[in-house]
Structure 1
């Protein structure tokens, strides 16, 4: 199994997956249409303690993410039905994607923990589809939220400097 690892500065691979509402999601369409940065986070499993903490952290800060020009997208190998339940119970305002065969996880090179458990990695992707930051930590789900916000605020400042 050849897993390439995406690095900072790489172009984020485009992909298409099913959303929790049954519709299709395509990364490059979101970047092109919305002209926003994307917080793409891979997480192990719906409704587990760490993943719930992380999703609720993104939910609680969602307006700040939007203010900082970003859209949040979560990916796990859970089914669409599992995502629907997870979204409903925790009132998640962002997109959850079902990567049933872990193909996208493999394309991005998200490592497995102990070779078995799906990893937890967050990618900050700018409007030009360039990976600007990667945070990998299974055991610190809330740090993914805080670090993503910090990075997005820095990106916003960079964009303001370029525009002025």
Structure 2
């Protein structure tokens, strides 16, 4: 997915069990959709909390924040309650939406099985690429307008970059 592409519509459960669709969300204004690899991990927590802390700034610009990961809805619910998030966290447990947006790191289960088989053979090759095996999606943020057009794409492993760049871009548009 690149800037200028039409974002695919999807329907996913949020951390409260409600089904959310991108089409419904963009009807209320721009959506800042951020993918993160794992709920409650240190960098993902910092990223999600930064989006939470800048909530008033996003609201002033009419933008909605939406987090999405391959964690289960239960794990998302625990993460949301633990950190008092005021925006939806969506569960893409089968990584279908991550695949559509081009942020999936590959078939991590196949890599896990390959690693397990290599470990059984006591090969040192199994220790390579641990980040790719453990993290199912690339940390990526998309600013999507009312017509589902991707206006900005941010890719960085630094937690605070995503919310700051999205906010700067929305301010520029205003």
Greater Cα offset, 113-122 or 52-61: 113-122
Task: Name the structure 1 match of 2:142.
Answer: 123
Task: Name the structure 2 match of 1:23.
Answer: 18
Task: Name the structure 2 match of 1:159.
Answer: none
Greater Cα offset, 91-100 or 109-118: 109-118
Q: Higher helix fraction: Structure 1 or Structure 2?
A: 2
1:69 aligns with 2:62: yes
> How far off its partner does 1:112 sit?
2.2
Q: 1:101 to 1:111 in 2, by over 3 A?
A: closer
Q: SS of 1:112's equivalent? A: coil
1:60-89 CA distance string (max 9 Å, x none): 001110111100000001111111111111
1:98 aligns with 2:87: no
- Name the Cα RMSD after superposition: 1.2
Q: What is the TM-score when the length of structure 1 is the normalising length? A: 0.87
Q: What is the TM-score when the length of structure 2 is the normalising length? A: 0.82
The within-5 A match list for 1:108-147 is 108-112=101-105, 115-116=132-133, 117=135, 118-138=137-157, 140-147=158-165
Gaps of at least 5 residues in structure 1 are 1-5, 157-164
> How far off its partner does 1:151 sit?
0.7
- Residue pair 2:52, 2:86 contacting (<8 A) in 1 also: yes
Task: Name the structure 2 match of 1:155.
Answer: 173
> How far off its partner does 1:111 sit?
4.5
1:69-116 CA distance string (max 9 Å, x none): 100000001111111111111110001000001000000001429543
Gaps of at least 5 residues in structure 2 are 107-128
Number of residue-to-residue matches in the alignment:
148
